[in-house]
A and B are shown apart, each in its own frame.
Chain A
Amino acid sequence: MKTQLTKIAFAAFMAAVLLTACSKDKDEVEDNEEEVITTLKLTFTPAGGGTALTYQFRDPDGPGGIAPTTDEIVLAPSKSYDVAIEVLNETTTPAEDITEEIAEEAAAHRFYFQPSAGSNITVSNLNTDGNGIALGLASTWTTTATATGTIKVTLRHYPGNPPGKAAADPIDSPKSGTDIEVTFNTKVQ
């Protein structure tokens, strides 16, 4: 009986040693490689030349934490601008340019622009994907008289295979889901 007691104690000891050894495994290292979209940057180049303007939504630490900043888009009246969109992940150094990936998978992405009534901004001339359907990484914004308002910029992404993107798809099409939905205040002055 005594030998059995010794055996059990020994087994327990060995197991405890083994378990403790196991539990001190690898050091904690940062291996967070998940895509986070932190920044939506709009660059306005006035038609016919002039200084380019840049306005952005920026949340450098990703969702949560420090609140994001949203610029007010200030444009001159009765003017037309060529707008280029950049989408970035600034949690990494250097920042990851997601714009390229969107351009590569243009048939699975689509930007929508929804200026509020009375903002005196219209968005047209969206660039297209390989099938000739709107993509919106490049567009033309035209202003009229001075006004204040908002504009909502939405990026929808089609997870389907094939994506099944169609020209008539509304912004809330069940075929696509929202990746970006940012509302900027606008001022035409």
Chain B
Amino acid sequence: MKYLLLLATILVAPSLLFAQNCRYSLSGHIEDADLKEKLAAASVYIRETNSRVVTDSNGDFRFGALCAGRYTLIITHVNCDSVIKIIQLNRDEHIDLRLPHSLQTLGTVVVESRKGRENSGFKKELSGQQMEQTRGSSLAEALSRINGVTMLQTGSTIAKPVIHGLHSSRILLINNGVRQEGQQWGNEHAPEIDPFIAEKLAVIKGVDELKYGSDAIAGVILVEPRSLRNEPGYNAEFNTGWATNNRQMIFSGIWEQTLKKIPAFTYRLQGTFRKAANAATPDYRLNNTGAEEKNFSATAAWQKKMFRTELFYSRFETSLGIFTGSHIGNITDLQNAINTSRPDPVFTGQDSYRISRPYQQVTHQLVKSKSVLLKGAHKFNLSLAGQFNHRREYDIVRSSSNSRPQLDLSVNTFSEDLNWEHPRTNNIAGTLGISLVQQRNHYSGRYFIPNYNTYTYGAYWIEKWSRHRWDIQAGIRYDYKTIDTRRLKYNGDTLDHNFNFSTVAASFNSNFRASAAWIFNLGISLSRRAPYVNELLSDGIHHGTATYEKGSIELKPEQSLSLHSGLQFRNHDGKLNAEVLLYANFIRDFIYQQPMPENPVLTIAGAFPLLEYRQTDALLSGMDLSVDWDPAGPFRLSGKIAILYGYNRIARDWLILMPANKLGSEISYVLADKGAFTGNSLSMEWNWTDRQRRVPDAGNGSQDYKVPPPAYQLINLQASSTISVSQRPVTVGIGVRNLFNTRYRDYLNSMRYFADEMGRNISFRLKISIEKNQRDKSISKH
């Protein structure tokens, strides 16, 4: 209650202090810097107000009713590099901007924005203020703000993204242009990426998937860092955060510099430290649910007009505690733990940063070199990457002198990608590429998956045609993958299994701008995913769920036919935006775990229920709907709905672990600027998650230990303001998650068997930016 009062004061006070003074306008004119042509259809976005306009046929744009203050303008155009410009608005302003043509400066790191046309298929992004609000949360939690994306969790520390009901090896996660390769097959293996690296997160489906693999059955997640500097000077950003519930502290910093003497050379250093103590539910604190993360990255680039090369290194290291009450010796222990309505006091009440068994320790290193060469209008990209992933899982062990991890997996991956972007002729632009991947996995300790070597050889071809109101894009990809596995038996014998798979993928999407208000798009994607090593050969006890998982060497690649159709509406002044997406994903030979209740596996610790990997035909269909209304006043409203049906067509039954239907809405209020306080905003969010009613029937083999938890609703608050401290912007933010300290459990969190979710969490964040440009010719003010 004390917090509530404090919060109310903080939230209400600024609105009383600041009078409205929002009558300024910002207009501008945009040209292509190289062609010296006025640039129509460039998007101009103000991050602080989250408003966007598009330049008209003369390259002009205008924002009205702006408050005085400091704004970040992000100007993007399909043929150009994005430009970010910070302006101080104290009167009506007009600015002229020249956008560098992307074919010559190669500034952005975002792969697809450099292509002639963006991916016209499904695309949803998180950036700007929305991204800022997620600072301090995990990558999956940030992504789950995107409608249609949910989280699969193991307690409060481990979360991975789910797109339209699918996750793990069915999602390709592209970290800074490189396909992330770790032990992503496991439900409790979270992505090994520092969320502070990302300036933007995007989820895409459609032809651009084909650049990364033929197996993106659920889609592709792009984690995109900000562009490197392309003018001399330096800038720095420092973020810090503190949260009350688990005493989480975060420090993250970025330093970027381009030297005046060697303007072709630019570099960036970035690091993050995060530490959290045990998390508390409304009624009790869960022992051993802390986390610690130490991340570092460095980027150096050499950029000339026709050639650019970049070297990137990142190291991610995390230790994640797993709630002690959820680690299970055998099925009897599991039943005992599940049957209690709250965890035994033995497992609750410690408020400590200490992480003890059971816990996970993961390090992931990425070294990448990327080079771009322009030859006339042709562009060649070469990317070489090495990834070194080491995962150690420390179980509760019988002997107190045992300090070894029980599961110890090292996977090293090398990938080489080369592509050629041919110039746009007859309205067609395209890319041809080849990609090679070599991967080696090594285990020690308990067997769960074997040692293996895989080699993948892939090639793709994408063409994009656009004219007038139409965009039509199509692509095809072929991959050949060999997997040689070796299991080491106790008696010195080895057990070898070798596989090879050919997979073909094809994709088509079209986009039709019927009028200024209506846009239709339609996409069809065919993907094939080779079974993963765990699906083929896992053989062991899964301690989190007290089950015995067994792979099958008979598995074939699963094949998906995904249809998605979207409709976007935007009224004449852009104040009302609505978007609806319908999708259906038919997956033949869908790989899933079938319980085999008649064949439990007898071990010295008792009998474990057996789960065997099997294949069926599945259909995942659903709808995402979102509406955004930004009337003239300070208020802004948005709402979203996500509905999903996951069906096993052979068993004629629902699929397990599918996200429940969700409904959410948000109201935000932008306060007038006052003195040094700018970009003041308040928002309240309401999210409702239904009880999952579509679960497998007990008659098809009991697949779950507990019925899905009831529906729940949460209220979250956000407030932020940017203060100018000696001309430097300092952003402060306060967020409250689960305002009413609601007790709830989520169907997609395996901890629902044992304990409630985290209670109220108040977080504070602070961002300080410093920037100094030593040359600035691209902008002139009148």
Contact = CB atoms under 8 A, between A and B. Distances in A.
Contact of B402 (A4, A23, A35, A179): A35
Contact of A23 (B347, B440, B489): B440
A85 to B, nearest CB: 13
Given A8-B373, A34-B406, A157-B398, A57 B604 contact: yes
Contacts of A63: 540-541, 548, 601, 603-605, 608
A105 interface: yes
A102 B325 CA distance: 23
Interface in B379-419: 380, 382, 384, 386, 396-400, 402, 404, 406, 412, 414, 416, 418
Contact of B438 (A8, A19, A177, A179): A19
A33 B490 CA distance: 9
B451 A178 contact: no
A11 B308 CA distance: 13
Given A1-B375, A15-B369, A30-B492, A64 B539 contact: yes
B330 A181 contact: yes
A28 B414 contact: no
Interface string B439-458: 01010111100010000000
B371 A8 contact: yes
B602 A68 contact: yes
B92 interface: no
A30 B369 contact: no
Contacts of A64: 539-540, 548, 550, 601, 603
A40 B489 CA distance: 21
Nearest to A9: B382
Given A64-B550, A68-B602, A157-B398, A4 B373 contact: yes
A40 B604 contact: yes
B336 interface: yes
A66 B752 CA distance: 34
A159 B489 CA distance: 29
Interface string B146-170: 0000000000000000000000000
B10 to A, nearest CB: 41
Contacts of A37: 398, 604-605
Interface in A10-48: 11-12, 15-16, 19-20, 22-23, 25, 28, 30-40
A20 B444 CA distance: 24
Interface in B309-356: 309, 325, 327-330, 332-333, 336-337, 343-344, 346-347
B486 interface: yes
Interface string A144-188: 000000000000010111000000000010110111111000000
A11 B396 CA distance: 48
Nearest to A29: B488
Contact of B307 (A4, A30, A38): A4
A20 to B, nearest CB: 8
A92 interface: yes
Interface in A45-75: 57, 59, 61-65, 67-68
Contacts of B399: 35, 101, 105
A91 interface: yes
A126 interface: no
Nearest to A34: B445
A62 B539 CA distance: 11
A108 interface: yes
Contacts of B737: none
B540 A178 contact: no
Interface string B585-618: 0000000000000000111111010000000000
A32 B445 contact: yes
B306 interface: yes
B386 A19 contact: yes
B738 to A, nearest CB: 27
Contacts of A36: 490
Contact of B357 (A15, A109, A159): A159
Given A23-B414, A30-B492, A178 B601 contact: no
Given A35-B397, A174-B325, A67 B602 contact: yes
A181 to B, nearest CB: 4
User: How extensive is the interface on chain A, given as a class?
Assistant: 35 or more
A31 B204 CA distance: 42
A39 to B, nearest CB: 8
Contacts of A30: 488, 492
A22 B386 contact: yes
A140 to B, nearest CB: 24
Interface residues of B, number: 63
Q: Most chain-B Cβ atoms within 10 A of its Cβ — which of A15, A67, A161?
A: A15
B414 A19 contact: yes
B371 A11 contact: yes
Given A178-B330, A180-B605, A33 B404 contact: yes
Contacts of B447: 32
B450 to A, nearest CB: 10
Contacts of B440: 23, 25
B406 A182 contact: no
A111 to B, nearest CB: 13
A174 B404 CA distance: 24
B636 to A, nearest CB: 48
Q: Most chain-B Cβ atoms within 10 A of its Cβ — which of A19, A38, A92?
A: A19
Contact of A19 (B328, B375, B416): B416
A68 B396 CA distance: 24
A4 B306 contact: yes
A35 B606 CA distance: 17
A8 B382 contact: yes
Nearest to A163: B400
A101 B401 CA distance: 10
Contacts of B307: 4, 8
Given A16-B416, A35-B402, A63-B541, A174 B347 contact: yes
B445 A178 contact: no
A177 B396 contact: yes
A174 B346 contact: yes
A105 B402 CA distance: 12
A161 B490 contact: no
Nearest to A164: B346
Given A8-B382, A161-B400, A178 B606 contact: yes
B412 to A, nearest CB: 7
Nearest to B541: A63
B401 to A, nearest CB: 8
Contact of B336 (A4, A5, A20, A172): A172
A59 B451 CA distance: 24
B540 to A, nearest CB: 6
Contacts of A98: 398
A100 to B, nearest CB: 11
Given A174-B347, A179-B329, A5 B602 contact: no
B332 A172 contact: yes
A147 B412 CA distance: 60
B538 to A, nearest CB: 10
Nearest to B405: A34
Interface of A: 1, 4-5, 8, 11-12, 15-16, 19-20, 22-23, 25, 28, 30-40, 57, 59, 61-65, 67-68, 91-93, 98, 101, 105, 108-109, 157, 159-161, 172, 174-175, 177-182
Interface of B: 306-307, 309, 325, 327-330, 332-333, 336-337, 343-344, 346-347, 357, 369, 371, 373, 375, 380, 382, 384, 386, 396-400, 402, 404, 406, 412, 414, 416, 418, 438, 440, 442, 444-447, 451, 486, 488-492, 539-541, 548, 550, 601-606, 608
7 contacts: A8-B382, A16-B416, A23-B438, A30-B488, A34-B404, A157-B398, A172-B332
Which 5 pairs show the lowest CB-CB distances between chains A and B? Answer: A178-B329, A174-B344, A91-B490, A181-B606, A177-B329
Given A8-B371, A11-B309, A30-B492, 16 more contacts: A8-B380, A8-B382, A15-B384, A15-B416, A19-B386, A23-B414, A23-B440, A57-B604, A59-B603, A61-B489, A61-B490, A64-B603, A109-B398, A157-B398, A174-B325, A178-B332
